[in-house]
């Protein structure tokens, strides 16, 4: 402090007469109050910033809803959405868009829904909605192994997959006696055999009395051999899926006509594996 006339100058303040002994303490008090207010303002600003960031994360970085294609049946769509939500609930961190594992979620859903050949997952940056697109398998035939009573389906890629809901009774039934180990979701089947059986079955639909009988087809260990079994008949029919369907159908018509005219019923089989020749036993 220094005197300026009869006033004292201290900092940027003037005091009349002698300086007050409390002026120094007052300044410290005011400085402390200013610091507390500045700290409070910083805290409020930080809290508001965190709230804004949390809101943006919730709105744009957090998976809150799931959309499915309208083409899916309502029952399947409901189960698929429930399974996806169950995965996100079990892996809670996956609801944060940067942390979600598309491959793990896709693998789990495909494992639970083998009728789907693929799933597309899309998470736009501007949305909190998970879009799921699907591609359904187109089954060609039913599949059953001799050591497994479960029912499977075969699609157009030769992939075997589970048929948990049953149904599809209109499809051809193929029974596998080759001891094939079923690995659902993997391509395992020779499509030549499946396509041959489908074509053969459509041709047999016009042959009496075969058209009125339940039919099943069996693949065995013999090379390229297919066995056709008819309900109520003591014999089966041997065919080769490496030969033309129409040729074997014509030969089958001839042998059936021959046996009918002579009132012969084979006790074991009819063999059409050799071209232009038919055997029965």
What is the pLDDT averaged over residues 7-15? Answer: 50
Report the 10 Å Cβ neighbour count for 13. 11
Q: Are 177 and 221 in contact (CB under 8 A)?
A: yes
Report pLDDT digits (tens) over 174-220.
888 776 666 666 556 678 888 888 888 888 877 766 766 778 888 88
Report pLDDT digits (tens) over 24-59.
667 777 777 888 888 888 888 888 888 887 766 655
Q: Are 38 and 53 in contact (CB under 8 A)?
A: no
Q: Which helix (H) or strand (E) holds 93?
A: none
Report pLDDT digits (tens) over 208-217.
667 667 788 8
Q: What is the pLDDT of residue 1?
A: 46
Least confident range from 15-19, 83-87, 90-94: namely: 15-19
What is the pLDDT averaged over residues 62-82? Answer: 79
Task: Give the separation between CA 82 and CA 76, rounded to whole angstroms.
Answer: 10
Confidence of residue 240 (pLDDT cuts 50, 70, 90): very high
């Amino acid at each position: 402090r220094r005197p300026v006339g009869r006033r004292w100058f201290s900092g940027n303040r003037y005091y009349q007469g002698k300086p007050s002994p409390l002026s120094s303490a007052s300044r410290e008090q005011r400085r402390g109050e200013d610091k507390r207010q500045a700290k409070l303002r910083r805290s409020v600003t930080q809290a508001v910033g965190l709230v804004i960031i949390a809101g943006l994360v919730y709105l744009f970085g957090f998976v809150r809803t799931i959309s499915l294609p309208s083409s899916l049946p309502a029952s399947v769509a409901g189960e698929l959405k429930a399974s996806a939500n169950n995965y996100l609930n079990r892996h809670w961190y996956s609801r944060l868009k940067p942390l979600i594992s598309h491959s793990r979620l896709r693998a789990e859903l495909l494992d639970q829904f083998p009728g789907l050949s693929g799933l597309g997952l899309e998470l736009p940056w501007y949305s909190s909605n998970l879009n799921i697109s699907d591609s359904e398998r187109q089954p060609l035939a039913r599949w059953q192994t001799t050591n497994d009573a479960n029912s499977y389906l075969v699609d157009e890629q030769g992939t075997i997959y589970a048929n948990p809901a049953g149904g599809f009774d209109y499809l051809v039934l193929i029974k596998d006696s080759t001891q094939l180990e079923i690995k659902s979701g993997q391509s395992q089947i020779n499509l030549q055999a499946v396509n041959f059986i489908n074509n053969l079955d459509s041709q047999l639909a016009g042959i009496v009395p075969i058209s009125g009988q339940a039919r099943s087809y069996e693949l065995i260990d013999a090379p390229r051999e297919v066995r056709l079994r008819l309900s109520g008949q003591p014999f089966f029919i041997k065919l080769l899926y490496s030969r033309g369907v129409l040729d074997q159908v014509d030969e089958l018509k001839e042998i059936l006509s021959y046996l009918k005219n002579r009132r012969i019923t084979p006790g074991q089989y009819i063999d059409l594996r050799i071209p232009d020749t038919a055997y029965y036993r």
